[in-house]
Amino acid sequence: MPTPKPDRSPPGRTAFINARLIDPESRLDARGALLTDGKIIADFGPALFNNGVPEGVETVDCGGQILCPGLIDMHVHLREPGHEHKETIATGSYSAAVGGVTTLACMPNTKPVIDDVALVEFVQRRARETSLVKVYPFAAITRGLAGKEMTEMGMLAEAGALAFTDDGMPVADSLVMRRALSYARAFDMMVSQHAEDLSLTGCGCMAEGEIATRLGLPGIPDVSEAIVVERDIRLVELTGGRYHVAHISTALAIDAVRQGKKRGLNVSCEAAPHHFVLNDAAVGDYRTFAKMAPPLRSEANRLAVIEGLKDGTIDAIATDHAPHDQESKRVPMERAANGVVGLETMLPISLELYHAGLLGLIDLLGLMTLRPADLLKLPQGRLRKGAPADLVLFDPERAWTVDAKQFRSKSKNSPFDGRTVTGRALLTMVDGRIVHRLDG
């Protein structure tokens, strides 16, 4: 289906009536209405429009469904530049809008790597031209993601890079990581680590354990992640830097972050939906669509991720949306590319925690709105007068079956294809403009 072009005309005023307003910042959960004026939230609350909606205002009757800040996904691979056959900023943004994601941060492991100002500006320009949602680039920690020579962090930050990461590759050299944390601290910028000891990972293609042994596949031990996190937290103690663990997946690493927080260190982490709803059994009989980095772990690790979300150790939910074409996945397990798409399933898969009684709705939504916004120092993620009019209207009880063929992403590599889920975005608004409305 064709990807719609963004509307850049000045937004008008929109009234959302009969809504269940949820705001993780104020913990508001009440029936009411909300008014947008141009790009901002003008007013909201239970008493708004008691005397009717003013003339000339577009009205959206929410039918009692939830209206909350638009979702923020702080870990997305858009593949542009260099791998546009897998995804582009345009198609990735369309996929985000359909999933209720209004803001996303794109990773720098493109071709060429986003490691200089020109590439940051390229992404910003392409986003202005083609994106339906807000796109912020992360820049690389090291040139070419090679883990050796640091990038010009100050210039990249000034150009608009939101944070720094070599995601897809770990920063293995302790001295390089120490310098990165120290230098980024001067700009109050976050350094995000893909935590993996490649010497331990080796040629592993799934989590080490009974299932890998039965399938005859080389395994990746849990300590491959934990060793890097534990080292980096020591470097945070040394430097005072802001440190973030991307797609955390093991009990060992989560506990390391938990202990770091208790010591007052500026450490944070995110978890991907596939790591808290799936375990290594999902690999089944060599299902390459369930191959990712870090891999799906044991059931004990899956439960540890949920516990980390519940107790606040894990700060955000992020998809690690990693689109791949069929040719990259329809190959033997050892040769298949790592990664799954997730923008269109982020909301319903995360809502499984709510429906199972594991997390309250406000807390769950906070993990996808307020908390990533605070980590990235963005004004989005909250219902507040004057805040950006980035909103999602969704039905938490709407059941549907995931059909990857219908994804707006160019790639269809989802481990959730065919899964019956509950909860769906009905309408998505970015800067006061409706960028998606579900038909039917």
Distance of CA 324 to the CA centre of its chain: 17
Phi-psi region of 116 (alpha: psi -120 to 50; beta: other; left: phi over 0): beta
Is residue 287 within 8 A of residue 418, CB to CB? The reply is no
Q: How far apart are CA 278 and CA 299, in angstroms?
A: 8
CATH number of 13-67+388-437: 2.30.40.10
How many whole angstroms separate alpha carbon 252 and alpha carbon 195?
12
Span 70-376 CATH architecture: Alpha-Beta Barrel (3.20)
pTM beyond 0.75: the answer is: yes
Report the interhelical angle of 117-130 vs 89-98 (nearest 10°).
50
What pLDDT is stored for residue 440 in this prediction? 63
Active site residue 320: yes
What does the pLDDT read at residue 439?
A: 85
Q: How many CA atoms within 13 Å lie on the side-chain side of 170?
A: 23
**Cβ-based neighbours of 127, under 8 Å, separated by 6 or more:** 89, 93, 134, 135
CB burial of residue 231 (10 Å; 0-12, 13-18, 19+):
middle
The CA distance from 258 to 341, in Å, is: 28
Alpha helices in 263-330 (DSSP H): 273-277, 299-311, 326-329
Nearest C-alpha neighbor of 429 from the set 60, 90, 76, 138 = 60
Q: What is the pLDDT of residue 324?
A: 97
Give, for all 440 residues of the chain, the pLDDT tens digit: 789 999 889 999 999 999 999 999 999 999 999 999 999 999 999 999 988 899 989 999 999 999 999 999 999 999 999 999 999 999 999 999 999 999 999 999 999 999 999 999 999 999 999 999 999 999 999 999 999 999 999 999 999 999 999 999 999 999 999 999 999 999 999 999 999 999 999 999 999 999 999 999 999 999 999 999 999 999 999 999 999 999 999 999 999 999 999 999 999 999 999 999 999 999 998 999 999 999 999 999 999 999 999 999 999 999 999 999 999 999 999 999 999 999 999 999 999 999 999 999 999 999 999 999 999 999 999 999 999 999 999 999 999 999 999 999 999 999 999 999 999 999 999 999 999 999 86
What backbone torsions phi and psi does residue 182 show, to the nearest 5 degrees? Answer: -65, -45
Q: Residue 295 carries which side chain, given as an amino acid letter?
A: P
What residue ranges do the domains of the chain occupy? 13-67+388-437, 70-376
Out of 320, 390, 395, 431, pick the active-site residue: 320
The reply to whether omega before 81 is within 30° of 0 (cis) is yes
